[in-house]
Structure 1
Amino acid sequence: MRPALALLLPLLLAACTKPQSTLTVLGGSELADLKPILDDVAKASGVTLKVSYTGTLDGTEQLLSGAATPDLVWFSSDRYLRLQSGLKGKLLASEKIMLSPVVLGVKQSFARKWGWEGGKVSWKAIAAKAASGELSYGMANPAASNSGLSALIGVVAAVSGKGDAITAADVTTGELKGFFKGQALTAGSSGWLADAYVAGQSEGGQDRLNGLINYESVLLSLNASRKLKEPLTLIYPQDGLITADYPVILLNKARQPEFEKLVSALKSPDIQRRIMTETRRRPVNGSVALSNVFPAGLNIELPFPGSASALNAVLDAYLQDTRRPANTIFVLDTSGSMAGDRMEALKTSLLGLSGADTSLTGRYAGFASRERVTFIPFSSQVAAAQVTEIGSDAAGKAAALASLSERVAALNPGGGTNIYGALEAAYRQAGQAPAGRYTSIVLMTDGESNDGPSPGQFRRFYQSLPDAARAVKTFTILFGDGSSGAMNDIATLTGGRTFDGTQDLQGAFKQIRGYQ
């Protein structure tokens, strides 16, 4: 290469590369699959996004409290945000980027058997199949995931026929209780829900689901992934559904020029085609022809409640009265290493779930009416299980929460760490769960096991359990000096998930509640 050209080349490359600006974004976890596309959007627009992922309720709380002050917000929907009076006037501009309705996927053989292949199915018909025990499905927790919230609001609006005037009473009808009788899998995110559905196919006796409620894009991606033993037939209820439109929302007026560049790039035909092809979400740019993987057009769009109080009442009614009651087992490390700040952090977390945390996320993470809560403290030895049944009436619930708070206060550190012996006790307890409950285990430890059974012995114990007991997932919390490898191994073996509580133990406990 000539010397002059060698000197000129960097200047030419610099001239062809747009200067980069970085916008901070509070975004939903559903956006993670857009990363390759956003990298190319950054090159085209000169706008790079630094995304902090969170759930809709948690993100809303951060915005209301001022804990987060991003340039942009980007959730799958802005409906919940716009109901918050504390955010009035702060959502400066909004642009829809892509579309994905929340629909039901049913195993092909069942759709054929029930005559649902033509698609003319109502939410009432779906509720009847669930009530009869024929339809068993997975759906994300409405208090943690927009797909779950959209499904809840959609089915209540459709079955009640009240549109945006739905109330808590509409959630507690026999039809709605029948619908949620069929929910056999829950999750705090739509992505983890899909992964758990896939994993359940290969676990002995756990391939018990024949339906999955999720975004259209997730269900189409599952069908295309070749990970399913049997494809899902997508059901678009004829009485309506709710569509995620993924609006990018500007909060920082000073960054409006970059916001406009970003939106222009995201809505360009090339990027919209890539979004459609790579993530199976529908384009909002009308010049982009819809792929034939999508049914032509969308059904009736159902409305959201018109106020935050109405929406909160619906969520409360679902959690306290309508959903399948939970059977939650907490395996709690009280070894000597938990003394001091660590034990105080554990107590604060559990007291928060027992009613002390009155924040927005604390309200929906707390122990619910009809829930069965079991504490199994452990150190060198495993303590006897402490079972608390939470009543369905206000007085019964208050008494149960007070009892739980007393049990939390009585936790005292000392001794070694018998993790696997405590887990064995938890699975024996899970095997005694009353019928009709959704059972899960939470393991919190700050160290490595130095007493009791080995990891290999626990694995053999777990694999010898009946199918129903092995279907119970363990959610592990990494804390203190705990081993990430050991926690991940336990979560993987049981189909659960590991949460990082090293920086925020209370936050980890609240996150897990979305999976219970």
Structure 2
Amino acid sequence: MPKTLTSVLLLAFSVLLAACNASNVKFSIVSGSENTVLEPIVQEFCSKQGASCTFAYEGSLDIGLGLQKPGGVDQDAVWPASSVWVDLFDSGRKVRNLTSIAQMPVILGVRKSKAAELGWVGRQVFMKDILAAVKDGKLKFLMTSATQSNSGASAYLAMLSSALGGREVIEPGDLDKPDVREAVGTLLQGVERSSGSSGWLADLYVDSVRQGTVYDAMWNYEATLKETNDKLRQMGKEPLYAVYPADGVAVGDSPLGFIDHGRGADVEKFFTDMLAYLQSDAVRKRIADTGRRLPLGGPAIQATAEPDWNFDPGRLVTSIRMPEPAVIRKALDLYQQALRKPSLTALCFDFSGSMEDQGEKQLQAAAQFLFTPEKASEVLVQWTPSDHIFVLPFDSAVRDNFEASGDPAGQSRLLAAVAEQHAGGGTDMYACAEQALQKITATTDLSKYLPAIVIMTDGRTEGSADMFLNQWRNAPVRVPVFGITFGDADKSQLDSLAKATSARVFDGSGDLAGAFRAARGYN
């Protein structure tokens, strides 16, 4: 056989072998919700390689806690919004080749007419201006939980930095200063709705506009505000005006990192090839077109500025310096324990006959998690004395109602009350929702709380939602109704209730306590 032909055949065989190897790769990524818009770009690469790629979307805290587990996360790669969460939780250094894909400042998007009313259009805005608007009752905003989501943590750390006069580094002792606590606590009183997901929060804003409820503002990524305004423009609605706090913002570096589960060199090579693809000029241009800023290095590429809402990804922003991991952890504890807006939560616990045996055991275990401060604080969802909690066990009717503040003694009383309940009877979750709403709306100083109803049930309910929804529409505040489901629960009715009240349903089939923890991030 001629030498040239032999070479061609060997080359063809090697290409075919590489394709076969790639086609055997199954690769999974756990990512922050802000990357949903980038998933199609990754899937295109996977398709070209003949590989199967899957995404799981979780909050920053979930990703961090996964890294903290002995076995680490189950996926082959992590893609949080910021390397802060890897630094904070990856003590075993499981993440390798962590590489920034984009730069995402967290800024404040203010309804344009509201920004004009506040005199913020066309001028620099400082955090003190935002604080003054909140104190005067002229501004409320949406913001993710600082202990669950990177965008909320970023906004919160920028507030702390501003309260310290733009100090280059936040030190542990700074968090004990009364004036700092007062300024940041007052700013956080502006929170009108919270969540554990930046993407979900943006969807909430758009869906609420569609339904006729318009919020003043939202803290979120610069790129997420662009995505939100693109949708608002299509609807013919008013955009959010981009406010870049002049005294500093936190910037997420969107890092993608590899987790070696011992599946062989082919898997790690697939990851490094993926990184190379994402860093190629053509793909960088596509990433920039989404409104994301690109890491330094390579040609300067950015999305087109949109002056009508002050969007400018080429604008220089003052970036705060991220504190050391131990200081961030202390700051997050401070947020959860003292500075966040207090929760007003009504918990409807389903003790109907269908919950007998396993369901009842799961429910009691979830209550143990919720009302044991040491357990809840491990994942930064502990209650505080400023919180107010109602517990309403129900079957075909509400059996009783118990209430307490979130101090340890109050939690202990609620836990004891739940322990006395046993499964039996029919099911009517709507009757419980009605009483829960009555309890919430009768609360004095309602405006100082973030209210929510959480229904934990197997979803097999009697009754109709009509009476509750009529009551809900006439209530003085919009109270979201979250659902938490069991094993083979029927989600349809809970989904309908959550959609009607701008909330969501959490799957508790595999980890009921984890579902409660996730729900707490929204309240």
The answer, yes or no, to whether TM exceeds 0.5 is yes
Structure 1 residue 341 and structure 2 residue 341: aligned? no
Q: Do the aligned partners of residues 34 and 117 (structure 1) sit closer, same or farther apart at CA in structure 2, a change above 3 Å counting?
A: same
Deviations 1:220-249 (A, max 9, x none): 111111247321110111111111121111
Match of 1:178 in 2: 186
Match of 1:429 among 439, 447, 467: 439
**Which residue of the partner structure matches residue 425 of structure 2?**
415
CA shift, 1:197, in A, is 1.7
The separation in 1 between residues aligned to 2:244 and 2:374, in whole angstroms, is 39
2:79 is equivalent to residue 74 of structure 1: yes
Segments of 5+ residues of structure 1 without an aligned counterpart are: 1-10, 391-396
User: 1:403, 1:247 → 2: CA distance?
Assistant: 44
Quote how far apart the aligned CAs of 1:492 are.
Answer: 0.9
TM-score by length of 1: 0.88
| Residues 417 and 221 of structure 1: CA distance in aligned 2, closer, same or farther (over 3 Å) | same
Map of 1:514 onto structure 2:
521
Q: Separation in 1 of the partners of 2:333 and 2:389?
A: 19
Paired residue for 2:397?
381
In structure 2, C-alpha distance between the alignment counterparts of 1:117 and 1:508, rounded to whole Å: 41
1:219 aligns with 2:225: yes
Counterparts of 1:212 and 1:432, CA distance in 2: 28
Residue identity in the other structure for 1:305 = P
Letter in 1 for 2:450: Y
1:1-16 pair list within 5 angstroms: none
Distance 1:458 1:400 in 2: 28
| Contact 1:164 1:303 (8 Å CA) reproduced | yes
Q: Is the 8 A contact 1:57 1:143 kept in 2?
A: yes
Task: Name 2:409's counterpart in structure 1.
Answer: 399
Q: Tell me which residue corresponds to 2:96.
A: 92
Are residues 359 and 23 of structure 1, via their aligned partners in 2, closer, same or farther at CA, if it must alter by over 3 Å? farther
* Structure 2: gaps (5+ residues): 1-11, 306-311
Question: Which among 38, 41, 46 is matched to residue 37 of structure 1?
Answer: 41
1:116-160 Cα shifts (integer Å, max 9, x gaps): 222411112212211221111110001111110111111111221
**What displacement does 1:45 show?**
5.5
Q: Distance in 2 between matches of 1:286 and 1:48?
A: 29
Q: More displaced, 220-229 or 434-443?
A: 220-229
In the alignment, structure 1 residue 210 sits paired with structure 2 residue 216? yes
State the one-letter code of the partner of 2:322.
F
Is 1:272 paired with 2:284?
yes
Shift of 1:475: 0.3
Instruction: Work out whether residues 104 and 211 of structure 1, in 8 Å CA contact, stay in contact via their aligned partners in 2.
Output: yes
Whether 1:282 and 2:293 are equivalent positions in the alignment is: yes
Measure the CA separation in 2 of the matches of 1:219 and 1:488: 26
Question: Among residues 335, 340, 347, which one is paired with 1:318 in the alignment?
Answer: 335
Q: Partner residue of 2:482?
A: 475
TM-score under structure 2 normalisation? 0.87
Q: Could you tell me which amino acid in structure 1 is paired with residue 282 of structure 2?
A: D
State the match for 1:7 in structure 2.
Answer: none
| Deviation at residue 60 of structure 1 after TM alignment | 1.7
Residues 110-125 of structure 1 aligned to structure 2 (within 5 Å): 110-125=114-129
Query: Which of 454, 463, 475 pairs up with 1:442?
Result: 454
User: SS where residue 165 of structure 1 aligns?
Assistant: coil
CA distance in 1, matches of 2:408, 2:374: 14
Q: Is the 8 A contact 1:157 1:166 kept in 2?
A: no
Measured after TM superposition, the shift of residue 487 of structure 1 is 0.9
Whether 1:299 aligns to 2:304 is no
- State the match for 2:7 in structure 1: none
Distance of 1:15 and 1:480 partners within structure 2: 45
Residue by residue over 1:401-444, the C-alpha shift from the partner in whole angstroms, topping out at 9 and shown as x without a partner, is 22122122112211111221111111111211232111000011
Letter in 1 for 2:77: L
Shift of 1:480: 4.2
Deviations, residues 281-330 of structure 1 (Å, cap 9, x unaligned): 1233531432222342331211122132x212211211221121110000
The whole-number CA distance in structure 1 between the counterparts of 2:43 and 2:189 is: 43
Displacement of 1:16: 12
Question: SS in structure 2 opposite 1:324?
Answer: coil
Asked if the contact 1:222–1:228 (Cα under 8 Å) also holds between the matched residues in 2, the reply is no
Q: Give the aligned residue type for 2:105.
A: P
Q: Is the 8 A contact 1:142 1:150 kept in 2?
A: yes
Task: After superposition, give the CA deviation of every residue in 1:470-504 in whole Å (9 maximum; x if it has no partner).
Answer: x1000012224532111111111111111111222
1:173 is displaced (CA, Å) by 2.4
Please tell me whether the aligned partners of residues 160 and 170 of structure 1 are also in contact (alpha carbons under 8 angstroms): no
Distance 2:342 2:356 in 1: 34
Please report how far the alpha carbon of residue 258 of structure 1 lies from its aligned counterpart in structure 2 after TM superposition.
2.4
| Matched residue, 1:195 | 203
Secondary structure in structure 2 of the residue aligned to 1:342: helix
Aligned residue identity for 1:193: L
- Which moved further from structure 2: 399-408 or 372-381? 399-408
- Please give the alpha-carbon distance, in whole angstroms, between the structure 2 residues aligned to 1:387 and 1:201: 34
SS at match of 2:375: coil
Matches within 5 A, 1:243-282: 243-252=251-260, 254=265, 255-277=267-289, 279-282=290-293
> What is the identity percentage for the equivalent residue pairs of Structure 1 and Structure 2?
29
1: CA distance, partners of 2:168 / 2:50: 43
**Equivalent residue of 1:221, what SS?**
helix
Counterpart-to-counterpart distance in 2, 1:511 and 1:375: 18
Tell me the distance in 1 between the aligned counterparts of 2:365 and 2:333.
Answer: 23
Preserved CA contact (<8 Å) 1:150 1:242? yes
Match of 1:27 in 2: 31
2:508 equivalent to 1:501:
yes
